[in-house]
Amino acid sequence: MRHDDEALAMLTAALAAELKVQGRRLVTAESCTGGWIAKLCTDLAGSSVWFERGMVSYSNEAKQDLLGVAEGRIVRFGAVSEEVAADMARGALARSRADFAVAVTGIAGPDGGSPDKPVGTVCFGWACPDDLIETERHRFAGDRDAVRRATVATALTGLLDRMSRK
């Protein structure tokens, strides 16, 4: 999968087209990408039709305050976990008027990894209509920029895949 700017823009345009066709709206909850997904969405003219809002919850406190992630879940599973990604996506959907949510939380590096969760570990949560929450955990190679680019691409591709099933 390509992760250059052109490829990311093409993925975002495809997502926008699908959201418009379905008459649905998107909310993002981003940690390690720092709003990159939301930026790509709002780069497109007319995105206010399908992009509802984006929340950057970089700290654990922000995950709790903005998205309603319980402190106990962060303590039990870690901020970088499928459980917390699911809670982030669920919280973003509950705190917006959107139909789909994507959440990302990870360790982009160069520091911060552990043997259990090395640098490049990213967890994703997708919240879909009908209270369906799906998660994935990936490990991306490369430097900080490469990990973040791969995260954005995977988040967008995951949204497109899930939207095609609705």
Say what the pTM is: 0.96
> How many independent structural domains does the chain possess?
1
| CATH number of the domain within which 140 lies | 3.90.950.20
Number of residues in the chain: 166
Residue 5 in 3-state DSSP? helix
Would you write out the chain's pLDDT as a tens digit for each of its 166 residues?
667 999 999 999 999 999 999 999 999 999 999 999 999 999 999 999 999 999 999 999 999 999 999 999 999 999 999 999 999 999 999 999 999 999 999 999 999 989 999 999 999 999 998 889 999 999 999 999 999 999 999 999 999 999 988 6
Burial (CB count within 10 angstroms: exposed 0-12, middle 13-18, buried 19+), residue 93: buried
Where in the sequence is the domain holding 135, given as residue range(s)?
5-164
- Within 8 A by CB and 6+ apart from 146, the residues are 3, 140
- Within 8 A by CB and 6+ apart from 7, the residues are 1, 153
